[in-house]
Amino acid sequence: MLERNDAAIRALEGLPEQKGVLFGESVSEVVIEDHGMKFCYDLAGGQKTGGFLDQRENRTAAKKYARGRLLDCFCYTG
């Protein structure tokens, strides 16, 4: 379990910035498979932790058009 409370905006609210492993082993990258598509997330160094459940249907819809050929050049998760 990874904690990512390291957004600079927290300082404006007087909140501490924290980042680290809360439980288990330290893992910097993880590959998740969702509906037959594989996504690699940089948990430690990325803008955020990466996987957003609310975008699951959008990724599935994009799969129909990509037909196995998709490169995301406009987001940090690639």
Give tens-digit pLDDT for 13-28. 999 988 888 889 888 7
Token look-up 């998740």 returns 32
Token look-up 């406009």 returns 74
The terminus-to-terminus CA distance of the chain in angstroms comes to 23
DSSP label at 52?
-
Cross-strand pairs, 67: none
Rounded Cα–Cα distance for residues 56 and 72 (Å): 15
CB 13 within 8 Å of CB 5: no
* Whole-structure pTM value: 0.59
pLDDT tops 50 at residue 64: yes
